[in-house]
C-alpha cells in the first residue's frame, strides 16, 4: 500500500513538471505571474483531492481487513464491545420489526432460485458442506413454556368431537422444538425436511413434521409441491409454531383440524402475472390419515382434498393486505374416525366433512420499530354421516356396548380475530378473541343423550392478551394471559403462560 501511494504521488509530480515545462507559444509568451499563480493553485487543489481519495481507499481496505479478521474469530473470542446488541434500527423478524414480505413480493420470491448460501461463519450459524453448486442449511428452533392453569388442560372441550387438538400442560414443559434441513436441489427443485422434538408426559419423542420438495422457475407462474407438508388453506395453517403471535392456536383450529391440517400428498398452485396485485390459486390432494379423516394409510384412494385462493396487495408504501377463501373436503372411507370420550368410551364417526374458511390479514409499518397487524379467520364445519358410541356405561337410550345413531347433518362454526401492535423496537402487545358455535345436533341420537358429556352443545369463548420482547431476530420471550370457557359452563380456565423461543442457524424468511 505504501509503494502504491508513493508511485501515485510521483506520477502527480511528473505531471506537474510536464505541464509547467512543455513548450507552448501562447503560454510562454503571454503568461503573467497572476496566471501562473492561479495555475499552481489549481494543481495544488487537484493534488490535495487526489491524496484524499487515496487516503479514503486505504482506510476502506483497513476496515475490511479488520472485519474479515473479526468474522474469522470464534464466538467465544468476541469481545463485549463487538457482541453488543444491534441498534434499535435493526428490527427482529420474531416481532415483525422488519417490513413483512408483501403478497406481490411473495409471489416473486416463491418462483425465484434461492441464492447460494454465503461462506459459513460462527455468527451466521451451521451450514453443511456444499453438494454440487448449492449449499444445504440446517437450523434449530428451541421452544420452552411454563403455564399455570385453573383447569386441567387434558380435559375434553365441551360441544365438539374430540379431535386431539394440542394443549399446553401445566408447569414447565418443552414446546415444539424444531430441527430443519433445507436447500436448493438444482435449478428446478428445492427440498425441505423438519423434525420436531415434543413432550408427552414424561416421554419425549421425535416426529417428522414436514418433508417435501417443490419446483422453482416453472413457466407461467406454476408450482408443484409433493411430500408431507402443512396445507395452504386459511392463513395460520402453514405457519410453524415459532411464527405464531400467541403461545397456542386459535380454538377453531383445535376444534376442526385437531391442530393444523398436515398430510402427505401433492399441491399444484398458480400465481397470476399481475404487477400490482398478488393472486394465487391452488389445489391439494392428500392421503388423509388424521382428523378430520380417519387413518387412511395403505389405501389406494386419497380421501383429503383442498382448494384455496389468495388475493392481496399494497396500500401505499407502508401497508399491505391479503385475503383468502379455502375449502377442505375429507372422508372417512371405510374406516371410521375414532375419538376418545374418556378412558373407556369412544365416538366413531363415518361420513364426510366439509370445511369452508375465510381469512384476512392487514399489516401496517409506518416506520422502523413500529407496526400493527390485524388478522382473522372464520370457519364453517359441516359433517354428514353416522356415529357409533362404544361405551361401558349407558348414554341416554344407548345401553352399554355399541350403539349407532341415525344419519345426521350438523354444521358448527367459529372464528377468531387478533391485533398485534409493536409500540417500540423489540416490544409487542397483542389481543385475541375466539368464539365457537357448537350447533344443535345430537349426532343422530335422541335428545339429551349427551347431557353433561363432552358432546353436549356448547358455545365457548376465549380472551387472550400477550406481551413479548425480542432481543434479536433469534431470541424472544413472551407473557400470555387468557380466560377460556372451552371446558363447559362453570369451568373457566384462567391461564398464565411464559414462553421462550431461541433460533440457531440459518432460517428462511417467514411467509406473509
Q: What is the pLDDT of residues 406-464, one digit of tens each?
A: 999 999 999 999 999 999 999 999 999 999 999 877 888 888 888 888 888 899 999 99
The more confidently predicted of residues 338 and 226 is 226
Measuring CA to CA, which residue among 384, 399, 404, 380 is closest to residue 255?
A: 380
Both 272 and 358 in one domain: the answer is yes
Domain span at 300? 97-116+145-172+217-505
Q: State the DSSP code for 455.
A: T
Cell of 131: 453438494
Q: For 185-292, where are the alpha helices, taking DSSP H only?
A: 251-257
Task: Express each pLDDT in 123-173 by its tens digit.
Answer: 334 444 444 455 678 899 999 999 999 999 988 889 888 877 778 999 999
Task: Express each pLDDT in 6-29 by its tens digit.
Answer: 445 554 444 544 444 444 434 444
Task: Express each pLDDT in 272-302 by its tens digit.
Answer: 999 999 999 999 999 998 888 888 889 999 9
What Å distances lie between residue 334 and 256, 328, 347, 385, 443, CA to CA?
21, 19, 16, 12, 19
The pLDDT of residue 96? 39
Kindly state whether residue 75 falls inside one of the protein's structural domains: no
Kindly state whether residue 492 falls inside one of the protein's structural domains: yes
Both 16 and 106 in one domain: the answer is no
Both 160 and 46 in one domain: the answer is no
Measuring CA to CA, which residue among 354, 495, 499, 477 is closest to residue 92?
A: 477
Measuring CA to CA, which residue among 384, 481, 394 is closest to residue 441?
A: 384
Kindly state whether residue 440 falls inside one of the protein's structural domains: yes
Kindly state whether residue 328 falls inside one of the protein's structural domains: yes
Both 36 and 165 in one domain: the answer is no
Task: Express each pLDDT in 292-334 by its tens digit.
Answer: 888 888 999 999 999 999 999 999 999 999 999 999 999 998 8
Cell of 188: 428446478
Kindly state whether residue 101 falls inside one of the protein's structural domains: yes
Kindly state whether residue 195 falls inside one of the protein's structural domains: no
Burial degree of 120 (CB within 10 A; 0-12, 13-18, 19+): middle
The pLDDT of residue 100? 44
Both 337 and 483 in one domain: the answer is yes
The pLDDT of residue 118? 42
Q: CATH number for the domain including 301?
A: 2.40.160
Measuring CA to CA, which residue among 23, 128, 120 is closest to residue 75?
A: 120
Q: What is the DSSP string of 73-113?
A: S-GGG--TTTTPPPPTTS--GGGT-SPPPPHHHHHHHTTSP
The pLDDT of residue 345? 86
Q: What angle is formed at CA 331 by the lines to CA 154 and CA 488, rounded to 5 degrees?
A: 30
The pLDDT of residue 4? 44
Q: 68: which residues sit within 8 A by CB, 6+ positions away? A: none
Kindly state whether residue 207 falls inside one of the protein's structural domains: no
The pLDDT of residue 45? 67
Kindly state whether residue 132 falls inside one of the protein's structural domains: no
Structural domain count of the chain: 2
Both 274 and 149 in one domain: the answer is yes
Both 108 and 48 in one domain: the answer is no
Both 36 and 110 in one domain: the answer is no
Both 39 and 111 in one domain: the answer is no
The pLDDT of residue 394? 75
What Å distances lie between residue 242 and 177, 220, 245, 249, 474, CA to CA?
9, 33, 8, 11, 11
Both 37 and 156 in one domain: the answer is no
Asked if 498 and 139 count as a contact pair (C-beta separation under 8 A), the reply is: no
Amino acid at each position: 500500500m505504501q509503494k502504491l501511494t508513493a508511485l501515485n504521488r510521483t506520477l502527480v509530480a511528473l505531471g506537474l513538471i510536464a505541464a509547467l515545462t512543455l513548450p507552448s507559444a501562447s503560454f510562454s509568451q503571454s503568461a503573467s505571474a497572476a496566471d501562473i499563480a492561479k495555475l499552481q493553485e489549481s494543481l495544488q487543489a487537484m493534488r490535495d483531492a487526489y491524496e484524499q481519495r487515496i487516503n479514503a481507499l486505504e482506510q476502506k481496505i483497513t476496515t475490511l481487513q479488520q472485519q474479515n479478521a473479526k468474522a474469522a474469530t470464534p464466538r467465544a473470542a468476541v469481545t463485549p464491545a463487538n457482541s453488543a446488541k444491534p441498534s434499535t434500527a435493526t428490527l427482529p423478524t420474531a416481532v415483525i420489526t422488519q417490513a413483512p414480505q408483501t403478497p406481490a413480493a411473495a409471489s416473486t420470491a416463491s418462483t425465484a432460485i434461492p441464492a447460494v448460501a454465503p461462506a459459513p461463519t460462527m455468527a451466521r450459524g451451521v451450514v453443511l458442506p456444499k453438494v454440487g453448486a448449492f449449499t444445504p442449511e440446517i437450523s434449530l428452533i428451541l421452544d420452552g413454556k411454563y403455564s399455570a392453569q385453573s383447569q386441567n388442560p387434558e380435559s375434553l372441550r365441551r360441544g365438539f368431537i374430540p379431535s386431539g387438538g394440542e394443549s399446553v400442560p401445566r408447569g414447565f414443559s418443552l414446546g415444539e422444538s424444531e430441527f430443519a434441513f433445507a436447500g436448493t436441489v438444482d435449478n428446478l427443485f428445492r427440498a425441505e425436511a423438519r423434525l420436531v422434538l415434543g413432550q408427552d408426559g414424561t416421554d419425549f419423542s421425535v416426529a417428522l413434521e414436514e418433508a417435501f420438495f417443490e419446483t422453482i422457475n416453472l413457466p407461467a407462474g406454476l408450482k408443484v409441491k409433493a411430500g408431507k407438508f402443512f396445507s395452504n388453506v386459511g392463513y395460520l395453517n402453514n405457519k410453524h409454531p415459532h411464527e405464531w403471535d400467541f403461545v397456542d392456536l386459535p380454538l377453531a383450529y383445535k376444534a376442526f383440524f385437531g391442530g393444523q391440517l398436515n398430510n402427505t400428498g401433492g399441491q399444484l398452485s398458480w400465481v397470476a402475472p399481475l404487477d400490482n396485485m398478488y393472486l394465487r390459486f391452488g389445489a391439494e390432494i392428500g392421503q388423509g390419515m388424521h382428523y378430520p379423516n380417519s387413518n387412511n394409510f395403505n389405501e389406494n384412494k386419497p380421501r383429503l382434498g383442498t382448494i384455496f385462493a389468495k388475493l392481496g396487495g399494497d396500500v401505499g408504501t407502508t401497508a399491505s393486505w391479503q385475503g383468502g377463501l379455502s375449502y377442505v373436503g375429507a372422508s372417512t372411507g371405510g374406516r371410521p374416525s375414532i375419538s376418545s370420550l374418556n378412558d373407556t368410551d369412544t365416538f366413531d364417526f363415518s361420513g364426510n366433512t366439509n370445511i369452508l374458511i375465510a381469512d384476512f390479514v392487514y399489516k401496517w409499518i409506518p416506520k422502523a420499530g413500529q407496526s400493527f397487524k390485524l388478522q382473522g379467520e372464520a370457519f364453517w364445519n359441516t359433517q354428514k354421516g353416522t356415529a357409533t358410541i362404544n361405551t361401558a356405561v349407558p348414554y341416554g337410550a344407548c345401553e352399554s356396548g355399541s350403539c349407532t345413531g341415525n344419519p345426521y347433518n350438523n354444521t358448527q362454526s367459529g372464528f377468531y380475530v387478533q391485533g398485534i401492535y409493536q409500540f417500540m423496537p423489540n416490544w409487542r402487545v397483542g389481543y385475541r378473541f375466539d368464539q365457537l358455535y357448537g350447533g344443535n345436533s345430537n349426532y343422530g341420537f335422541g335428545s339429551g343423550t349427551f347431557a353433561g358429556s363432552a358432546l353436549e352443545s356448547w358455545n365457548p369463548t376465549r380472551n387472550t392478551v400477550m406481551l413479548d420482547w425480542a432481543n434479536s431476530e433469534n431470541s424472544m420471550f413472551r407473557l400470555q394471559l387468557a380466560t377460556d370457557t372451552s371446558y363447559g359452563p362453570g369451568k373457566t380456565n384462567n391461564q398464565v403462560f411464559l414462553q421462550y423461543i431461541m433460533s440457531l442457524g440459518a432460517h428462511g424468511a417467514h411467509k406473509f
